[in-house]
Amino acid sequence: MTSTKGKIAVLIEEHFDQTEYRKFNEFFPKHGYEVEYVSHLWGQPQLHFGSNPEEDRVQDHVTVSVEINDVKPDDYKGVLLIGAYAMDRMRYQASVKKGQPNQAPAVVFLRNAMATEGLKVGTICHSLWLLCADRTLLEGRKVTCAHNIICDVENAGGDVIYEGDQTADIVVDGDLITGKHPGITDQYLDVFLQALEPNA
């Protein structure tokens, strides 16, 4: 589908959340946006990724040919980090130096994205892990996430918002929009779209 409103970058890797994947592919084109899947391709022209197994079977696959080092945040109207374990994989660094901030391509891209005025950045569930790779991205930010990674997020300086004995479903802190888990993806996408189109 030809985009009329621009592109939404979805950062993705192996073990992505299939619920979010399916809903992103339906929701954004319906509202006039093109979904572009972006990853670090490790020198390959394209890579193939599978979703988390469901009923002992990987049900969704995606082929990605957009190298994250070759795009800029302002190429997009919004950036989403897909849930499940994909974002843990995207913070991997082949080489590390003591005291040096994380230099994984996705983390470098995300630093630039979060410094781009007005660009909406979204996470659902475990995808907030990518921000944990650099404390400066999370320090003092109001967020929500899966209960599994609360400790990681709080240790990275994030201010996790609670509703009773649960984390909040959705938290909006400026241009950062976080969601608790894939079960609220429909509600989350409505909030994300409203942030993209505040005057609609």
* Residues 6+ positions from 4 with CB-CB distance below 8 Å: 32
Contact 89, 47 (CB under 8 A): no
Q: What is the pTM of this model?
A: 0.95
| Phi, psi dihedral angles at 28 (to 5 degrees) | -70, -45
The parts of the chain modelled with pLDDT lower than 70 are 1-3
At 60 the pLDDT is 95
pLDDT in tens, 145-158: 999 999 999 999 99
CATH class held by domain 7-196: alpha beta
Contact 3, 33 (CB under 8 A): yes
At 3 the pLDDT is 54
Nearest Cα to Cα of residue 66 among 83, 46, 50, 89: 46
- The residues spanned by each domain of the chain are 7-196
pLDDT in tens, 55-70: 889 999 999 999 999 9
SS3 state of residue 37: strand
For residue 167, list its beta bridge partners. Answer: 162
Q: How many residues does the chain have?
A: 200
At 199 the pLDDT is 84
The H-or-E segment that residue 159 falls in is strand 159-160
